[in-house]
Each structure stands twice: as C-alpha cells, then as structure tokens.
Amino acid sequence: MTTLIDALNDPQSVMHLRPLQLSALMSQARQAGLLAALRVHLDRAGVLAPLPADVTRHLDSASLAQTKQARDLRFEVRCLRDALAPAGLSPILLKGAAYIIGELPAGDGRIISDIDLLTPHAAIPAAESALIAAGWITGPLDDYDEQYYRRWMHEIPPMAHKSRGSVVDLHHTILPPTAAPHVDAGRLFESLKSTSLEGVLALGNCDQVIHSATHLFHESEFHHALRDLWDLNQLLRDFETSVVSAHGAVAGAEGGASVNGAADRVDQGGAGGDFWSMLEERACALDLGTPTYLALRYASRLFGTPVPADTLNALRPPLARARSLLWDPLFLRGAFSLDYPGDRPRGRAFALWLLYLRGHVLRMPLRLLVPHLVRKAVRRGAVGKGSENVA
Amino acid sequence: MRPYNENLAIGPYTYRIRTTLRNVAAGLQALYRDFPRADASAFVDFDIALRSHGILPWRKLSRFGFDGRDQFGPVPVHQAYASLEWGMNWCVSVHCNEYLKLHAAVVASDAGAIIMPGVPGAGKSTLCAALGLSGWRILSDEHALIPPGSRQVVPLCRPVSLKNESIDVIRSFSRDAVFGPPSLDTHKGTVQHMKGDLHPESHATDPVPVRALVFPRFSRDEPQRLRARPRTVSFVLAAYHSFNYSLLGEDGFHAMRHLVEAAPCFDLVYHDLEWAMGALERMPAGEALPQSAEMS
C-alpha cells in the first residue's frame, strides 16, 4: 500500500505499474495533495512522457491548477506587502507560501490552502488594522471562538479578502502559548531571509525546517501529513547542500522595511558549521528538539532523507525508544498512511483518533482542553457538521 | 438487490462506481444500463463509493466517498442518487483541466454540436432533455469539453438532471423518458435524472464539430426569440460560464477565442419547448446571419 511513497522515492518504478496500480497512484497523490508535486518529480526523472495519456492528463490537470494558484499567490503576496508597508511591516511567509515565493524545490508543485504570515506579537494590532484597511476581514465568529483564538492560540482568526477570497492566517509564534515547549518567538526574527519578491521575507533555513516539523507533529488533523513530511524531506535535502551562512542568508537589509529592525541582524554562531549541526543547535535553542527529531526520524524512514546518525542521536528526546512503540504505529499507520486503494486500512481511524487527542493535549493543558472539547462536542451535536471553525 | 460495482466508460473517462444503497443501485441500473463497461483491469479515472452512514433507522444517511475519502459530508439517503450525479459532475469540474470546460448542455444533430451555456434555472437541461427525446444526440447536460485549439466538443453523455416543474414538463412531453429515483427536498428542490443515452451514437467518443453557441433563457413573459448576438459579448459570457477559463490563463483565452471566432452565437428566449426545438432545427449557419436578425 505504498504506491505513492514508492513513486516519490523511485520515479522509475512507475514505468512498471499496471493500469490499476496507476489508478491507485493518481488517487493517492490526489488524496495527499501531491499530484502536482508528483508530476514535477516524474518529469525531472524523465518518466512522465512514457506514461499513458489517460494517466498524464491527471498530472497535467493538477499541474495547471497549481500553476494558477502559484500565480495568484504571487499577486496576493504583493498585495499583502503593499498593505503592510504603511505600518512599517514586511510580510514574513511561512510554510507553502514561503517555499513557493522563496523558489525552493519544496515549492515546485506545492499547493496551499491559505497564506500563513508571521509577525511579532506586539505588531499584531498594527498588522491586523493594515490588513483590514486593505480588505481582509475576519468572518463572523462567536465570542467564544474569538476569545479562544485571541487568548490561547498562536494565530489570530483567519482573515479572508472581501472580494478575492484569499485567506491569511496571521501568526505571532510557532505554537499556542499554552503548549509545553516555551518557544521564544523573538528568536525567529533573528535569521530571516529574502525571497524572490523584494520586501517579502521567510524564516531562515533551519527555522523553516523546525517550524514545519513543529506544525506537523503538534497537529491534531492529519489530512496533509504525508505532504508535510515530503516538504520536510525536500527542505532538508535542499538546505543540506546549499551553502549559506548559519540559519540562512540574511535578508531585509536592502529589502525595504524590516520587522523591528530584526531582519538586519546577522546570524549568531555556527557560521561555517554544517547544516545539520546548526539545525540541531537551533532546535534545542527553541525548545523544539522533539518535533524536529520526529521529522528527521520519519522523513528518513519514509523518504530516505540522508540524516546523519549523530544529529538524530543528539536530538533524541528522553525515553525515545519506549515512546517510539507508540509513535511508530500512530504515525506510520495513522498520519502517514492513505485511505486508498480499497478501504481505510485497519486501525487507521483509531490511530487518527489517538493522534487527534495527542494534538490537543500537546496544545493545551487538560484544565483548558477538557472544557474546550466538551464545548466543541456539544456544539457539533447541536448545530451539525460544517459549523466548526475552531481549530 | 446486489451491491452495484461497475466500471463505466463515460465519455473520455472511466468511473468505478460502487454502492450498497438500494435506491442508488436501482437508479444506476436504470440510467446507466446501456453504458459500455470498461475492462476491470483498466485504468480508473474516478473511484466513487456511496455507503450508508449512521445507525439511527429513522435517519438513514449516505456518504459520497472519492479516493477512499468522504468528500461532502453525509446526505439523507433519499437524496443519495442526486448526490451521486453531482459528485460525478464534481470529479470533472474540479479535477480535469485538459479541456476548456463550459458549464453547458451540449446537443448534436448531423449539422454539428450546439453548446448551450447557462446558469441553473436557464432551462438548458429541460431543452436538452426534450431535444434528446426528439432525435438529437445529447453530448452532455453539464460540461462542454473543448480541447484547446480545437473547434470541437468531446462527448460526455450522462443522465440529464431535471428539477421541480421540469420533471413534469418532460414527463408530459414524452412517455418514453426513463427516470431514476427522485431526490426530494435537496437545495435545488426535487431533482430527478432522465436517461440521456437515447441516440444510437450516444457512446461514440469522437469529438464533434461545434456548430453554434446558444445561450438559452426560460421566460414566460417575454416574446420567444432566437437572435444572433455579438461575439465579443458572447466571449465574455462563455468565459463566465466556464469552470476553468481563468485557471488556464492565457491558454484559456486563446482556446475560447479560437472557439468563439468560428461559432455563431445566439440568444434563445423561450417558454414553449416545441417552438424552441423548431428554432434550433431551422437555425441558419451563423456566418450568413446579420447580427441583429430576429426569428420567430
């Protein structure tokens, strides 16, 4: 049942697939949000052209949709930059938008659902007003949801553009403040780097990896888990070989407005050191060693990412061997598994349910979590599906 | 009744459809009985499973599974058949961009294909059903698939979706119409599908040359007319009715221009089916028609 993972790891293998296996491959890739990315990968390996036309039309269709999305994203990011400029802020892109606008290999064929931005906590009111002035508005939320976001979350409620519909998630840190790791968000602004758009920034290389890993392994919903792990594989392989200073090139210096001047600062420490030791150091400094360890563990397990054993050992959290007895079945059978072909693999629903609880427990202490989940359950029962807008 | 599990060849695509729901299986057996079956080992484009959901016997629900995943949330089981047909449309609307796609009914006679784009309620499906029952070939009730750079439409014949009064209009129009199970109280009201492959050529897959674009509008109050309309306005309107004109970017523009350049465009305002069908039968080759010509 690893058709998609096999195809990503060994593109040549698709040449030997029978028609029904190709159906399963298309279906899995579509389900994982990796259809356009798969096309990029197969094309680079030179195995796209020999595939039958009724297969490639699915890859081509997804690629056309992704191209359009990336084009729209570029436009939206320029609008965001112009909207934030009067407030003296530059957009700092996170995740998919950062990979695409940063022109990283992870951005090739990447589809996104919304635009994630990072801004210092103190600048949230200014950024929010600037975005409202430019047409991004928050949908109707009840008091509870509003308060939930404002008080407990690492982001403010999503803002959608009133005419174009683009959705922006404004983050002020990596994790909800209620989560156990205490991330010093200020440090994220130490090592910003430039993107292909002037005045638009992204996190430094190590921070991009750590942020992606933290999101993935603190998630409670895993619809895009395999895609996120593929991102991590791509980022790690890319950053390992690219020669840059410490946590990434320093940006913003000539790129116009910078965030509280932080972008102008040069990386501290580790210059000249290799990527893996910088990643290790940075993950520990941010108190995010465990999610980074999990990302390296599963990226190398599923995609053969060449992670040095030393790095993995250094990041290994306490009791890793015992905890992996639970992690492996949950992540391999739940998060990184796919529902097709056939029906949901045995135990997947249970694994996903446990991961759902795990994600919530990691996010907030039980004294906050229990009332929140009860409230969600009651409301779901009362209003029915579709009214759920709290994470 | 046995569970339904067939690989149907529908236009350029293969749908694998499975269901254990009796009313859905009955509808499939009635409306798709004459569709060619794809080989069980052949490539499948869209794999769909409708399953019952929920444990309350008085509140039976159905789930539309695609790629092994529930896509739309459960619907009451008496609306399941309509949800299947809408889901089958969705597969093409959302996932296929190898064609320029217009939201349109498409019918053909020996003279070529007529593309009838229209918003829901414009009367395109009613007209399409009536034409199909009168010897025209139905190429699609939902999608005009235009290979970019061509002036042809690729057939995607499926059942015709009729709503509310249109169901009775077509029932009284012809006794031969074969219907699937009604879906009651949907967001579009009562919906019932009519067997659409009524022509000997219904399952042929060759592209059909486009003869004209006709924009139908049902209106009781206005005089009936078939009137040529300017190409520029038609271009914009056709783009508005397209699922992926903007997604295709510049290629979409060129594909649409190439199509509209050669196809005469008409407004059709009607309330009488017989009149509308006659008007389409007598429709002149558009190049010769002055832009303001009116026929009645």
| Cα distances (Å, whole numbers) of residue A64 to A29, A330, B102, B238, B244 | 15, 35, 17, 20, 10
Residues in chain B closer than 8 A to A71 (CB atoms)? 249
Say how many residues make up chain B: 296
CB B179 within 8 A of CB B81: no
Residue spans per domain, chain A? 3-383
Token couple for A376: 């969600």
- For A31, nearest residue in chain B (alpha carbons): B67
CB B11 within 8 A of CB B106: no
Task: Answer yes or no: is pLDDT of B32 > 60.
Answer: yes
Those residues whose C-beta lies under 8 Å from the C-beta of residue A353, and which sit 6 or more positions away, are none
Chain A closest CA to B53's CA: distance in Å?
A: 14
pLDDT confidence of residue B136? 96
For B100-158+196-286, CATH number out of 3.90.228.20, 2.60.120.10, 3.30.70.120, 3.40.50.620 equals 3.90.228.20
* CB nearest B68 (choices: A60, A62, A344): A344
- For B97, nearest residue in chain A (alpha carbons): A61
Those residues whose C-beta lies under 8 Å from the C-beta of residue B291, and which sit 6 or more positions away, are B228, B229, B230
Are B247 and A65 within 8 A, CB to CB? yes
pLDDT confidence of residue A6? 93
Residues in chain A closer than 8 A to B73 (CB atoms)? 385-386
pLDDT confidence of residue A343? 60
Residues of A at the B interface, defined by Cβ within 8 angstroms:
18-20, 22-23, 26-28, 30-31, 52, 54-55, 57-58, 60-62, 64-65, 67-68, 71, 338-344, 385-386
pLDDT confidence of residue B82? 94
Are A57 and B73 within 8 A, CB to CB? no
CA angle B177, B183, B188 (to 5 degrees): 100
Task: Answer yes or no: is pLDDT of B293 > 50.
Answer: no
User: Best mutation site among A17, A35, A57 for testing chain B: the one with the most B CBs within 10 Å?
Assistant: A57
- For A68, nearest residue in chain B (alpha carbons): B247
Chain A closest CA to B74's CA: distance in Å?
A: 9
Residues in chain A closer than 8 A to B248 (CB atoms)? 64, 68
Phi/psi at B249 (5° precision) = 60, -135
User: Best mutation site among A23, A72, A221 for testing chain B: the one with the most B CBs within 10 Å?
Assistant: A23
Q: How confident is the model at residue B296 (pLDDT cuts 50, 70, 90)?
A: very low
**Which alpha helices (H) appear in A45-138, and where do they start and end?**
53-84, 95-101, 124-133
CB B290 within 8 A of CB B284: no
- Cα–Cα distance, A284 to A290 (Å, whole number): 9
Token couple for A100: 């695409």
Q: How confident is the model at residue B71 (pLDDT cuts 50, 70, 90)?
A: confident
CB B228 within 8 A of CB B214: no
CB A83 within 8 A of CB A126: no
Token couple for A272: 């000249």
Which of B210, B91, B65, B67 is closest to B144 using CA atoms? B210
The radius of gyration of chain A from alpha carbons, rounded to an integer in Å, stands at 21
User: Best mutation site among A1, A4, A61 for testing chain B: the one with the most B CBs within 10 Å?
Assistant: A61
% of chain B beyond a pLDDT of 70:
96
Are A55 and B43 within 8 A, CB to CB? yes
Interface pTM (ipTM) of the complex?
A: 0.90
Phi/psi at B144 (5° precision) = -95, 115
Are A23 and B44 within 8 A, CB to CB? yes
pLDDT confidence of residue B193? 97
Chain B closest CA to A68's CA: distance in Å?
A: 6
Residues in chain A closer than 8 A to B47 (CB atoms)? 23, 27, 340-341
Residue spans per domain, chain B? 4-95, 100-158+196-286
Mean pLDDT of chain B: 91
Are B97 and A58 within 8 A, CB to CB? no
Token couple for B237: 């309107």
Sheet with A193-194, edge to edge strand ranges: A136-138, A159-161, A167-171, A115-118, A92-94, A201-202, A193-194
Phi/psi at A35 (5° precision) = -65, -50
Do the bridges between strand B137-140 and strand B100-109 make them parallel or antiparallel, or are there none, so unpaired? Answer: antiparallel
| Cα distances (Å, whole numbers) of residue B97 to A29, A58, B260 | 17, 8, 19
pLDDT, greater one: A262 or B121: B121
Residues in chain B closer than 8 A to A27 (CB atoms)? 47, 67-68
Residues of B at the A interface, defined by Cβ within 8 angstroms:
12, 41-45, 47, 67-69, 73-74, 95-98, 244, 246-249
Verify cis geometry, omega within 30 degrees of 0, for the bond prior to A341.
Answer: yes
Phi/psi at B268 (5° precision) = -125, 115
Residues in chain B closer than 8 A to A67 (CB atoms)? 249
Q: What is the pLDDT along chain A (391 residues), one digit of tens a residue?
A: 468 999 999 999 999 999 999 999 999 999 999 999 999 999 999 999 999 999 999 999 999 999 999 999 999 999 999 999 999 999 999 999 999 999 999 999 999 999 999 999 999 999 999 999 999 998 787 877 777 777 777 888 899 999 999 999 999 988 877 777 778 888 899 899 999 999 999 999 999 999 999 999 987 777 889 999 999 999 999 999 875 544 444 443 333 344 444 443 334 333 446 999 999 999 999 999 999 999 999 999 999 999 999 999 999 988 888 888 888 888 888 888 887 766 666 778 888 888 888 887 777 777 777 777 777 777 766 554 433 333 3
For chain B, first and last CA: distance in Å? 51
Token couple for A351: 């694994």
Specify the residue for token string 């509308």: B276
Q: Max alpha carbon distance in chain B (Å)?
A: 64
The radius of gyration of chain B from alpha carbons, rounded to an integer in Å, stands at 19
CA angle A312, A317, A323 (to 5 degrees): 105
| Cα distances (Å, whole numbers) of residue B46 to A48, A171, A273, B49, B66 | 21, 38, 50, 10, 7
CB A220 within 8 A of CB A359: yes
Quick one: how far is CA B292 from the chain centroid? Answer: 29
Task: Answer yes or no: is pLDDT of B253 > 90.
Answer: yes
Chain A closest CA to B69's CA: distance in Å?
A: 7
- pTM score, whole prediction: 0.87
| Cα distances (Å, whole numbers) of residue A145 to A140, A142, A390 | 10, 5, 6
